[in-house]
Each structure stands twice: as C-alpha cells, then as structure tokens.
C-alpha cells in the first residue's frame, strides 16, 4: 500500500502539466501496470510497477559462491519468488506514420532512458562439508538498481482510446552486481483518458 501511495504522490504534480494520460498492461520483462503521460508533443514520462523475473540460475549460484553462509558451504540449488519491479523513465517520440503509408491511426517510434529497481527473493539449499546428507537453507533478497535504455513503437487507433506497443531494452545493474546486463522486452496496450 505504501508503494501505491508513493506512486500517486510522485505522479500527481506531473498530471497537471500533461496533455494525454494512459494506463495499461505491459506483458514481458518486467510484467507491469504502466502509467504514461506526455509533457509535450514528443516527450513522455512513464511509471511502471509490477513483477520482475528472475535472473539466470548461474547468476544466483555465483552470488551464493561469492557470499557463502559458512566457508565449507556447497551450493545445492535455489528457488526464486516474490519478484518486484519499479521503473521510472522518459522517452522521446517521433511520428513515423507517413514512412509506412498508414492511412488510419498513428504510429510513433520512441526511445528513452530510465531507472529500474528490481527485487527477487531467493531460497538457497546448501550442504556443508563434514555433515553429509543434511541440507540447510537460507533466504536472501536480491536487490538490483540501475539505468535502462529502450526503444519501441506504439500505434494509436483513430476511433478508440487505445494504443498498443512493442519495445525492447537493456537494463544495467549498478547496485549489487555492477555491469550485469539484462535484455528486456514487452508488448502491451494502454487505455487513454
């Protein structure tokens, strides 16, 4: 609930400057509810809150090996859950309808930058040398923070207050594992009001 109140308070002052608002669902990485508004004809800001996917299995194994619960701990496996993602970003939009000879609706290309916070809970199973047959567990929270860059395209229907979009981006961790890159992409739809 605190996160929702924070988002409302963060975006409330920006609503007064906006020309167009939209809210929708983003299917991909991360799976999110998205709110987008335009500050002028070409610049938008967007906030997303949703579910972050986990990183690769090797990512978490390496994290365990770098920070073992005890010096004689041996990794046995892990599971991830409770993924969370929060994104704030801005984009520049350019109308490309004429380039594709589209006669109905509007097609725009966009690109931008943002910041992303991701959190995933990780349950590790491990054994200790000298105690064969017994598995131990440890729960950790993996928090990643860093910039993201993205490009995409969005189609606005003429007679419906709906747009559909597709995009691809790259997230780079600065906190937790600096320099780790994660390719992200999504499709989605937004309702404009």
Q: List all residues 6 or more positions away from 145 whose beta carbon is below 8 Å from its beta carbon.
A: 115, 116, 117, 118, 173, 174, 175, 176
Domain span including residue 12: 2-192
Provide the mean pLDDT of the chain.
91
Task: Work out the pLDDT band at 16, boundaries 50, 70, 90.
Answer: very low
Helices within 34-111 (DSSP H only): 57-66
For 128-159, what is each residue's pLDDT tens digit? 887 767 899 999 999 999 999 999 999 999 99
Q: List all residues 6 or more positions away from 49 whose beta carbon is below 8 Å from its beta carbon.
A: 3, 4, 7, 32, 33, 85, 86, 87
Residue 86: its pLDDT value, please? 98
Task: Work out the pLDDT band at 93, boundaries 50, 70, 90.
Answer: very high
Q: What is the average per-residue pLDDT within 67-73?
A: 92
Among 46, 180, 52, 56, CA closest to 118: 52
The number of folded domains in the chain is 1
- How many Cα atoms occupy the beta-carbon half-sphere of 150 within 13 Å? 31
Task: Work out the pLDDT band at 14, boundaries 50, 70, 90.
Answer: very low
Give residue for tokens 């790259």. 170
Task: Work out the pLDDT band at 18, boundaries 50, 70, 90.
Answer: very low
Q: By three-state DSSP, how is residue 71 classified?
A: coil
Rounded CA-CA distance 26/23 in Å is 10
Question: Which residue has better confidence, 104 or 17?
Answer: 104
Q: What is the pTM of this model?
A: 0.83
Q: Judge whether residue 11 has pLDDT over 70.
A: no
Among 49, 78, 182, 190, CA closest to 137: 78
Residue 15: its pLDDT value, please? 43
Q: What is the average per-residue pLDDT within 54-58?
A: 91
Give the domain CATH number at 122. 2.40.160.20
Residue 6: its pLDDT value, please? 53
């Amino acid at each position: 609930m605190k996160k929702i109140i924070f988002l409302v308070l963060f975006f409330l002052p920006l609503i007064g400057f906006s020309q167009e608002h939209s809210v929708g669902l983003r299917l991909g990485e991360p799976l999110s509810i998205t709110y987008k508004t335009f500050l002028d004809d070409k610049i938008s800001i967007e906030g997303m809150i949703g579910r972050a996917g986990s990183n690769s299995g090797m990512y978490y194994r390496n994290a365990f090996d770098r920070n073992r619960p005890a010096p004689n701990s041996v990794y046995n496996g892990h599971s991830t859950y409770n993924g969370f993602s929060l994104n704030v970003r801005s984009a520049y939009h350019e109308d490309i309808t004429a380039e594709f000879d589209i006669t109905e609706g509007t097609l725009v290309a966009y690109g931008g930058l943002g910041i992303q916070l991701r959190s995933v809970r990780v349950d590790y199973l491990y054994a200790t040398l000298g105690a064969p047959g017994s598995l131990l567990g440890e729960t950790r929270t993996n928090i990643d923070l860093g910039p993201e860059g993205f490009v995409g395209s969005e189609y606005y229907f003429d007679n419906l207050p709906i747009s559909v979009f597709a995009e691809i981006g790259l997230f780079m961790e600065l906190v937790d594992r600096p320099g780790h890159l994660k390719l992200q992409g999504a499709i989605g739809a937004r309702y404009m009001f």
